[in-house]
Structure 1
């Protein structure tokens, strides 16, 4: 979709979103698509590992998780404000598997609201984690690219794309090592990237996919890489 087409769709979504809370249908909080009570009750990902955003016990707040201490990811830090559970998992599923633009717009609004102005000023470019073309055709759209294009336009920064070289098998049921092996060499980036880059996805599990993409981006010139994702799978989830 062209930039003008994205702008028209987003304008229509903004007109439709205010008024009622997307979760309980109570009056919304100003122009935001949620009420204060539902926003407070969302499963916020606090505390979390500062590197990979894995949910942490309170006693470990602000400290890297064991996995990051053993093998730091190729990205520098992850900003993932919510846990993938409850109302948030429903939003992600409607966006990802049913191509709901309203669910996508709410996820993006929640992510953007959680980023301080200084963080939003960080990137020189945004890039979504690409689906393989066959998977994108099957699903009907590429959800991470959908998020990245819209947020890049809002922040006034470049939108860059990577290519998925092969249609990797599902990560479901694989441990961390198997996920890394499954994604080795899966991504290619054409051209030179700016020094500061943000990678976006809709949901993060172990971070193996983002780690593999970050490695390809470093080879293309990115020096400092952040990961921005609306939701992170909790520790107890498969």
Structure 2
């Protein structure tokens, strides 16, 4: 039996293939602000049907954020928040995890289970911000933490989504 996700809807402006995957890679691993700003502009061209009351970037474990030099989801959320006038919330990643990239759907869900904790109060409708959605496992885990803290609805807004693959 497949458990439904904790979030309501996912909005992603792009399909994570070819030039888009290179754009995301340049932003994420080369810290390219040009690539990041282009992703923000593309996300703003296709916003979620209901933005909610606040943006919630996917947090990174502190050691991974230090290694990478920045949290790409937080970078996107700050700029999206400025453009939309929405506040940006904070959550913490409390679990050091292997990268999701090499994991299948089941392993991804297990990897991020109970990995996130909210900081401070949370409004009724929250929109998670991430760069890429693959299986939805990260969004599910962060949405579950937001719902446990008192949110009534959680959506996901990402720059890109990988093509659907059965696994």
- State the match for 1:115 in structure 2: 47
TM-superposed CA distance for 1:237, in Å, is 9.8
Q: How does 1:113-192 map to 2 (within 5 A)?
A: 113-115=45-47, 119=49, 122-192=51-121
Is residue 19 of structure 2 the alignment partner of residue 90 of structure 1? Answer: no
Match of 1:39 in 2: none
Inter-partner Cα distance in structure 2 for 1:172 and 1:229: 16
The answer to whether the Cα contact below 8 Å between 2:13 and 2:45 also exists between their aligned partners in 1 is no
Structure number with greater CO (CA < 8 Å, separation at least 6) is: 2
**Offset, 1:81:** 2.0
Whole-Å separation in 1 of the counterparts to 2:152 and 2:165: 33
The answer to whether the 8 Å contact 1:110/1:230 transfers is yes
- Tell me how far 1:177 sits from its aligned partner: 1.9
Aligned residue for 1:29?
A: none
Paired residues of 1:126 and 1:157 also in contact (CA < 8 A): yes
Unaligned runs of 5+ in 1: 1-68
CA apart distance, 1:167: 1.5
Q: Say which one has the larger Rg.
A: 1
- 1:99 and 2:58 equivalent? no
Q: Which whole-Å CA distance do the structure 1 matches of 2:166 and 2:22 have between them?
A: 15
Q: Deviations over 1:176-230 (max 9, x none)?
A: 2221111111000022200011001011110101110000000111111110001
Q: Does the 8 A contact of 1:144 with 1:201 survive in 2?
A: yes
TM-score w.r.t. structure 2 length?
Answer: 0.93
Q: TM-score, normalised by structure 1?
A: 0.66
Aligned length: 167
Q: Which runs of 4+ in 1 moved over 4 A?
A: none
